[in-house]
Amino acid sequence: MQSHLRYDTRGTEDEQLSPSAIFSLVGPELLLVEKEFELQVSGGPSIVSSIGRYLREGGGKRVRPALLLLASKAVHGKAGASAVSMATVMEMLHTATLVHDDIIDGARVRRGRPSVNAKWGSEVTVLIGDWLYMTAFDITLRERSFDILDVLTSMTRLMTEGELIQLTMIGNSRITESEHLEIVKRKTAYMFSACAEVGAIVAGATPEERRALARYGLSVGIAFQLIDDLLDFVSTEDKLGKPVANDIREGKLTLPIIYLLEEDVQHRRLIETVIAEQGFNSVAREDLVRLLRENSALDRARSQARLYAEEATEVLSIFQPSEYIDALRSVPRFILDRDM
């Protein structure tokens, strides 16, 4: 199988590691995750194999399995077979959420290519998502660990709740910051938390280490999504792999918009116009971005992400220094610097 990951095998003496240096610490294990994912989908019906291959060829940052592997190595100094299996599980669960989300959102593009539902239809895509979920839990059961099952079942329930809560908030221009952050935690951050915590469990972490890594993952996940929300306005379609300003078109108000309305409620009519039209017909996207900049809404959103990134770094203080802890400390920093 041809891998779509690129790893830099060069190390660094600086505590602030580059993304390539971070991924190089778990590069061999991530390649095993790729092979295991391919093995699982190739063992299914031909339609599963075809769509699974299509999904893998679409690439992706592999942040979640990398986080699990780094957490395992931070505790134990290595990532064994169980860590690789669970990293595969997390990538499967993440992929399942993406294909289901694309159906819910009616998305036609994912990572610069037609989404699975655009290519195969919603009926097949729902079942592919279900197959990925069930296969992931089948793999998990082989670990014979109630602790891992507790984490993953709780995570899946919370993520489903997050999607349901978000659907009830569609088009609501009065959503508060705390309500939005609750959605962010459920839809995104709890999976990051589960990755770090499961990595700790398979490595035999102490209860204190497990709690710290779970909290680390939660804070990293919140920061990751808040930066995603910001990039939705200021990045480009080529970099995002999907249309820009897509959230507001779908009636989803994220932190920059929430902050804009806090600064000047008279902008509510403008926002509600975009939502009603499901696009930028009467209101130019450039004008909205200009307002977000002028009212410091983008800066405030980035500052909030920075607070969570700093919190993630702080909880790692209980661990002995190592290159893996340096890597975990660097992850929140490069999340803040993302431009895609």
**Residue 4 confidence (pLDDT):** 33
* Neighbouring residues of 277: CB distance < 8 A, sequence distance ≥ 6: 283
**Residue 58 confidence (pLDDT):** 80
**Residue 39 confidence (pLDDT):** 94
CA 246 to CA 171: how far, in whole Å?
Answer: 13
CA 227 to CA 298: how far, in whole Å?
Answer: 10
**Residue 266 confidence (pLDDT):** 84
**Residue 242 confidence (pLDDT):** 67
CA 244 to CA 251: how far, in whole Å?
Answer: 14
Q: What's the distance, CA 98 to chain centroid? A: 10
Domain range summary for the chain, segments of one domain joined by +: 19-336
Tell the residue number behind the tokens 């509510």, with chain if given: 268
* Neighbouring residues of 62: CB distance < 8 A, sequence distance ≥ 6: 5, 23, 30, 33, 91
CA 102 to CA 206: how far, in whole Å?
Answer: 38
Closest to 42 in 3D by CA, of 33, 32, 52: 52
Take residue 127 and report the two structure tokens written for it: 């079942």
CA 332 to CA 310: how far, in whole Å?
Answer: 8
Residue 113's beta-bridge partner residues?
Answer: 110
The CATH T-level fold of domain 19-336 is: Farnesyl Diphosphate Synthase (1.10.600)
**Residue 3 confidence (pLDDT):** 34
Give me the amino acid identity at 6. R
Write the burial class of residue 126 (CB in 10 Å: 0-12 exposed, 13-18 middle, 19+ buried): middle
- Summarize pLDDT for 129-143 with one digit per residue, the tens: 999 999 999 999 999
pTM here is 0.91
Neighbours of 234 (CB within 10 A): 14
SS (H, E, C) the chain: CCCCCCCCCCCCCCCCCCHHHHHHCCHHHHHHHHHHHHHHHHCCCHHHHHHHHHHHHCCCCCHHHHHHHHHHHHHHCCCCHHHHHHHHHHHHHHHHHHHHHHHHHCCCEECCEECHHHHHCHHHHHHHHHHHHHHHHHHHHCCCCHHHHHHHHHHHHHHHHHHHHHHHCCCCCCCCHHHHHHHHHHHHHHHHHHHHHHHHHHCCCCHHHHHHHHHHHHHHHHHHHHHHHHHHHHCCHHHHCCCCCHHHHCCCCCHHHHHHHHHCHHHHHHHHHHHHHCCCCCCCHHHHHHHHHHCCHHHHHHHHHHHHHHHHHHHHHHCCCCHHHHHHHHHHHHHHCCCC
**Residue 15 confidence (pLDDT):** 63
Tell me if 193 sits within 8 A of 218, measured CB to CB.
Answer: yes
**Residue 264 confidence (pLDDT):** 80
Q: Which residues of the chain fall below pLDDT 50? A: 1-14
